[in-house]
Every structure is written in structure tokens, then in C-alpha cells.
């Protein structure tokens, strides 16, 4: 039971406060009752108001409740605030769209009214046409002048240039026809005549094409010349196009070709395509040796060396295996298949060999500025001779 008690029980007077008795494990004790109040007024006239919890608008003396930042209610209030802001934004956008929609509807309403007016006008005109109330005229706003078919054609008379009587009659009808005279029958004759002439042109073109492609057996291009000691006769039958008789005495002196083909072999010039190259000659003895290399023709700047003829000859009974290269590339025989040469005449070697003159060349350095070398397996002389040209 609550009761007022004096704080200092040993004194006759002292502060008195409210208390309550509570029993704990059979013992009774008194506890001071403490009330939280708000003190207002002034000295001599103080008043107290008990503090109570509350939220929102409260009366004076009533304490407000502050929620902790991690309280679920605080987080929910934040979400609600964000959602409310988004709703406000959406409502503003909807208002803009509604305004634009109203403007578009106003335009559509005006256009629909114009369409209705035009439709009514068209309907009225159709009705008037059906009742015969409207007269349609075909008079052009601008007069059309000019002659579309002259009374006489610019060419008249009879055409006689190696044509048949029928052709002359048809062409004469064309030349003298007028608008009234150009009957369907005449035009049909013209069409038939043109078809015939076009067919003849096509046939002639095909014959010319066959001649150009060489499908015709023989065509005399040049009239035959009298036979003579210096004449080249006609080509044999079925050998292609007959070029007629050509007198080689008419060819200028020093000319080696007829139409790009070598006519006679020169001893001083050979051709690389259409380029004339000076024929050069070289010879000597290659001393040789085990793994030795002898230069037969030195490198030429910007030129490759093309061998037109070659001779290699042994000078000893000792076998000497040889091959040609240009430093980085084997040209004739090779290290794995060299040619064994000697003078022992026992049949297992050769004493030498000759590659005769070949206008196209037997071998050639693979790039410019490379020498032709002879590789030997023994220190025995090899006699050699070579005919060559320098090519780009």
C-alpha cells in the first residue's frame, strides 16, 4: 500500500515523498515513487504537470515520443514518402499528356468537320451529275497546234540501190505514204522487210565472229604472191587461218621477228619476251676441291643470269662430283644428287656433257644480283663453257 514517508526518519521534520511497500522473499520494503513532471510558473507559484507519452499535436506538458532511426516505422515512413513523391511526378506527367491529348482531340475534331464538309460537297455534286444538272465540257484551256503527220514525207521517189522490185516497192510506199495512205497493210510490209534485213545482218555478224575466232577453215587475207626462192608458201590446209604468201625479202635488214615470232636466230641477241638481250659467253677451268665453290659467272646488279648453253668436262681420272647453284638455291643437279665426272672410262662416271643452245634457257638464278657457282668434291680441274644472257 502506497504511503507518504519522511526521508529522514531520525529527524522530527524532513522531506516527505510518496512510497510503496513491496514484499520480496518474505521481506517487506518501501520504495520511493518517482513521477516525471514538467515544472512551470514562478517562485512561490510553481505548478507541476505529469509527463505522459504521445505523438503529434499534444497539449502543453505532454512529452513527444521520438522514434529511433532504426525503428521499422521510420523506414516505412521513408518508403511512403518516396512513393508519394513518385506518385506526384506521375500525376504531373499525366496532366501534361492529358493537356496534349485535349489539343490533339481538338485538331482531330476540326479535321473531321472539314472531311464531313467535303464529303457533303462531293455528294451534292454526284447527285447533281445523276440528275443532269451539271454539264461537262472537254474544251482545253490551251489550244493544241502543230502537224503530227506531214502531208508528204521528206523523202520521195523510188529507191533503186541494188534492191529487188519488191523491196523498191515497199520502200517507195514508205517514202511517199501520207497519214491517209499509211494503211495497216503497208505497215505490215514495212515490218516484214525490216525483219528480213535484220536477219541478214545477224547472219553476217555470225560469219564475222566465226572468222575472228578461227572457226572458219581458211580465209585468204592477202592475195597469193608469185612463188620465189625467198617466199613462205601458204600454211597447210586445216592448220588455221591462211595468211597468204609472205616474201621475207621485204623484211628490213636486222629484224629478227615477224609479228613477235623469231624469224631467224641471231648470234648476238636473244629475246626475253619482247626485250632484246645481248648474248654473252664465258669459259674457264674450275680448280675445285673438297666442298670448294668456283664462281663461273659473277653476279650482276639488278639482273638475273639465264644459261642458254653449258658444257662441263673432266680433266682427271679422279672422280669429281659437281653441281651448280646460285648461293642459296641449287640450279643443276644438287648436293644430294651431284654428277660424278672423271676420265677413267669405266662406265660408272661421265667424262663430261653439253647442254646445247636453248633460246628459252636451261636454268636461271632465282633472284637478281646472284652469281652462278660450281661446287666440286675433289681438287680436280673441271673445264667449262657457258652461253648466257642477263634478264631483268
- Asked if 309 and 336 count as a contact pair (C-beta separation under 8 A), the reply is no
Q: Is residue 179 part of a domain?
A: yes
Length of the chain: 392
Sorting pLDDT into bands at 50, 70 and 90, what band is 157? very low
**Could you identify the residue written with the cell 513532471?**
37
Task: Let me know whether 288 and 326 are in one domain.
Answer: yes
Q: What is the DSSP code string of 87-133?
A: HHHHHHHHHHHHHHHHHHHHHHHHHHHHHHHHHHHHHHHHHHHHTT-
- Name the one residue in this structure whose C-alpha cell is 504537470: 49
Give domain status of residue 95, yes or no: no
Assess whether pLDDT exceeds 70 at residue 36.
no
DSSP letter, residue 260: T
Q: What does the alpha-carbon distance between residue 341 and residue 322 come to, in Å, rounded to a whole number?
A: 8
Do 332 and 302 belong together in one domain?
Answer: yes
Same domain, 341 and 273: yes
Q: Are both 182 and 284 inside the same structural domain?
A: no
User: How far is the CA of 187 from the CAs of 38, 65, 168, 175, in angstroms?
Assistant: 128, 115, 15, 12
Q: Which domain holds residue 230?
A: 220-250
- Summary count for the chain: helices (H), strands (E): 3, 21
274 and 348, same domain (yes or no)? yes
What is the domain-level CATH number for residue 362?
A: 2.60.120
Element of type H or E holding 292: strand 292-297
Helix, strand, or coil here: 68?
Answer: coil
Q: pLDDT tens, 172-184?
A: 666 555 444 455 5
**Domain-located, residue 304:** yes
Does residue 324 contact residue 333 with C-beta atoms inside 8 Å?
yes
Q: Decide if 200 is inside a domain.
A: yes
Q: Are residues 323 and 239 in the same domain?
A: no
Count: domains in the chain = 3
What are 288-324's pLDDT values in tens digits?
888 889 999 999 999 999 999 999 999 999 999 999 9
* pLDDT surpasses 70 at 159: no
Report yes or no: 277 and 390 within 8 Å, Cβ to Cβ: yes
Mean pLDDT of the chain: 75
- For the cut 80, the answer to whether the pLDDT of residue 365 exceeds it is yes
Are residues 364 and 383 located together in one domain of the fold?
yes
**Residue 370, in any domain of the structure:** yes
- Same-domain check for residues 328 and 297: yes
In this structure, are 191 and 224 located in the same domain?
no
| 246 and 276 belong to one structural domain | no
DSSP lists the bridge partners of residue 332 as 324
299 with 245, same domain: the answer is no
Residue 290 lies in a domain: yes
Tell whether 327 and 371 lie within a shared domain: yes
In a domain, 352, yes or no: yes
pLDDT at 232: 47
Residue 130 CA: distances (Å) to CA of 45, 125, 137:
110, 9, 16
Q: Are 21 and 1 in contact (CB under 8 A)?
A: yes
Sequence-ordered alpha helix ranges (H) in the chain: 72-130, 165-176, 184-213
Alpha carbon distances (Å) from 155 to 64, 151, 170, 193 = 122, 12, 14, 18
> Domain for residue 37, yes or no?
no
Amino acid at each position: 500500500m502506497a504511503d507518504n514517508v519522511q526521508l529522514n526518519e531520525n529527524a522530527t521534520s524532513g522531506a516527505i515523498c510518496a512510497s510503496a511497500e513491496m514484499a520480496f522473499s518474505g521481506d517487506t520494503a518501501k520504495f520511493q515513487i518517482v513521477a516525471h513532471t514538467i515544472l512551470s510558473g514562478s517562485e512561490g507559484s510553481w505548478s507541476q504537470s505529469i509527463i505522459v507519452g504521445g505523438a503529434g499535436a499534444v497539449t502543453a506538458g505532454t512529452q513527444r515520443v521520438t522514434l529511433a532511426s532504426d525503428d521499422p516505422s521510420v523506414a516505412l515512413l521513408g518508403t511512403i514518402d518516396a512513393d508519394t513523391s513518385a506518385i506526384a511526378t506521375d500525376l504531373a506527367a499525366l496532366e501534361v499528356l492529358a493537356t496534349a491529348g485535349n489539343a490533339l482531340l481538338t485538331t482531330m475534331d476540326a479535321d473531321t468537320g472539314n472531311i464531313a464538309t467535303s464529303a457533303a460537297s462531293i455528294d451534292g455534286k454526284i447527285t447533281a451529275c445523276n440528275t443532269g444538272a451539271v454539264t461537262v465540257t472537254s474544251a482545253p484551256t490551251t489550244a493544241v497546234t502543230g502537224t503530227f503527220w506531214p502531208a508528204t514525207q521528206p523523202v520521195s521517189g523510188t529507191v533503186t540501190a541494188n534492191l529487188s522490185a519488191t523491196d523498191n516497192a515497199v520502200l517507195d510506199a514508205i517514202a511517199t505514204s501520207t497519214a491517209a495512205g499509211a494503211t495497216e497493210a503497208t505497215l505490215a510490209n514495212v515490218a516484214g522487210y525490216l525483219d528480213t534485213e535484220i536477219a541478214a545482218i545477224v547472219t553476217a555478224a555470225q560469219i564475222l565472229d566465226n572468222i575472228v575466232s578461227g572457226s572458219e577453215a581458211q580465209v585468204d587475207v592477202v592475195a597469193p604472191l608469185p612463188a620465189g626462192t625467198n617466199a613462205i608458201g601458204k600454211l597447210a590446209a586445216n592448220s588455221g587461218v591462211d595468211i597468204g604468201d609472205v616474201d621475207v625479202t621485204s623484211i628490213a635488214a636486222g629484224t629478227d621477228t615477224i609479228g613477235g615470232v623469231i624469224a631467224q636466230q641471231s648470234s648476238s641477241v636473244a629475246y626475253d619476251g619482247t626485250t632484246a638481250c645481248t648474248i654473252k659467253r664465258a669459259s674457264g677451268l674450275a680448280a675445285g676441291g673438297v666442298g670448294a665453290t668456283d664462281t663461273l659467272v659473277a653476279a650482276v646488279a639488278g639482273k638475273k643470269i639465264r644459261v642458254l648453253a653449258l658444257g662441263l668436262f673432266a680433266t682427271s681420272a679422279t672422280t669429281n662430283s659437281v653441281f651448280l647453284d646460285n648461293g642459296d638455291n641449287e640450279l643443276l643437279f644438287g648436293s644430294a644428287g651431284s654428277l660424278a665426272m672423271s676420265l677413267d672410262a669405266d662406265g660408272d662416271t661421265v667424262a663430261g656433257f653439253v647442254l646445247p643452245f636453248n633460246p628459252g634457257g636451261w636454268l636461271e638464278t632465282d633472284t637478281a644480283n646472284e652469281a652462278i657457282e660450281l661446287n666440286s668434291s675433289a681438287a680436280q680441274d673441271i673445264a667449262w663453257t657457258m652461253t648466257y644472257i642477263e634478264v631483268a
